[in-house]
Amino acid sequence: ETGVTQSPTHLIKTRGQQVTLRCSSQSGHNTVSWYQQALGQGPQFIFQYYREEENGRGNFPPRFSGLQFPNYSSELNVNALELDDSALYLCASSYDGYEQYFGPGTRLTVT
C-alpha cells in the first residue's frame, strides 16, 4: 500500500509569483485536505476535496485554490505569493474524511 506522497519536497519562489504543489493520495482514499504549517505552529486547514469537489474551506483568501483529479490526486495553487506564505504545506488523504493520513509536506520559501 502506497502512502501519501507530495512533490516537490522544497521550493523557493519570489514574491508575486505563482506556485503549484502536488499530492497523491493513499490507495483507496477519496478525500484530500491541504494544511499550511508555519514554523512553530500547528497546521491550519486550507480546504478539502471530496470526489473532485471542494467541500470545506478554512480562513484562506481566494488566491489559494485547488483541484482534485479522478484518480483522487490533488493540486494546491497559490497565486500572487506573499512572504507570509512561506510554510510547510501538508496534504492529507482519507476515506470519506475519516482518519487522515499525512504526506511528508512541501517546504515553500518565498523571498
Partner 1 sequence: KQEVTQIPAALSVPEGENLVLNCSFTDSAIYNLQWFRQDPGKGLTSLLLIQSSQREQTSGRLNASLDKSSGRSTLYIAASQPGDSATYLCAVRSDSGYALNFGKGTSLLVTP
**Residues at the contact surface with partner 1, assessed by CB under 8 A:** 4, 6, 31, 33, 35, 40-45, 48, 50, 55-56, 58, 88, 90, 92, 97-105, 107
Closest approach of Cβ 109 to partner 1, in Å?
A: 12
The position carrying cell 478554512 is 58
Integer CA distances (angstroms), 98 to 39, 50, 83, in order: 27, 12, 33
Residues 100, 33: contact at Cβ < 8 Å? yes
Closest approach of Cβ 16 to partner 1, in Å?
A: 26
Closest approach of Cβ 83 to partner 1, in Å?
A: 20
